[in-house]
Amino acid sequence: MESLLVPTAIVALAEIGDKTQLLALILAARFRKPWPIIAGIIAATLANHAAAGAVGAWVSSFFTESVLHWILAASFTATALWTLVPDKMDDDETSNARRFGPFVTTLIAFFLAEIGDKTQVATVMLAAQYPHLIMVIIGTTLGMLIANVPVVLAGNFAAEKLPLTLIRRLAAAAFFVLAVVAVYSAMKTSGWIG
């Protein structure tokens, strides 16, 4: 269950105020058809996070357990710092939206927006840390949905009323906690502590 619940919570917090959440808001305002947009978010996130999770699981096989924990600690720390920086939405990502309709536009825009995004990086790291890849992918996808579906359904109200700075700080704190756990695990597997 930890392979599901931790990724869900981490990604849900990290996604608040992220550019893909802003993208969800723009798509909801533009199309006013929430269900095709939500379906596009699900499909894009599953595809993107499955690829990211596979990379994380594959990369983890190249390192000893202690080296992997040190890498994870550094990565979680970097992601925590990155989470503190607010995202901005590029107008280019939704400029051709009308041509493809809400589902295809959302699918393409979300998939592309997630490439190199902090939630994709988090998925790679979580897949490297937890043994149940499918649960990690389901968890990160649920986290994306927890953050984005209310925005699609509620429009501007949800995005404007959330304390984004506080939520970014909570997400960063969660990544820092994961970094501390990874440092502890690295020290333990390296034999530095008993």
- The tens-digit pLDDT sequence of the chain (194 residues) is 888 999 999 899 888 877 788 788 888 877 888 999 999 999 999 999 999 999 999 988 888 878 878 887 887 788 778 767 765 555 554 455 557 789 999 999 889 888 878 888 889 989 998 989 999 999 999 999 999 999 898 864 544 565 667 766 777 787 788 789 878 888 988 889 87
| pLDDT at position 107 | 94
| pLDDT at position 176 | 85
| pLDDT at position 65 | 79
| pLDDT at position 72 | 75
Helix axes 164-189, 65-83, angle to 10 degrees: 170
CA distance 79 to 74: 9
- How far is CA 62 from its chain centroid? 24
CB atoms within 10 A of CB 186: 21
pTM: 0.73
CA distance 69 to 117: 22
The four Cα atoms 184, 186, 190, 191 give a dihedral, to 10 degrees, of 10
Long-range (24+ apart) CB contacts under 8 A made by 93-100 are 93/23, 94/23, 94/26, 94/27, 94/30, 97/27, 97/30, 97/31, 98/30
CA distance 66 to 167: 31
| pLDDT at position 55 | 93
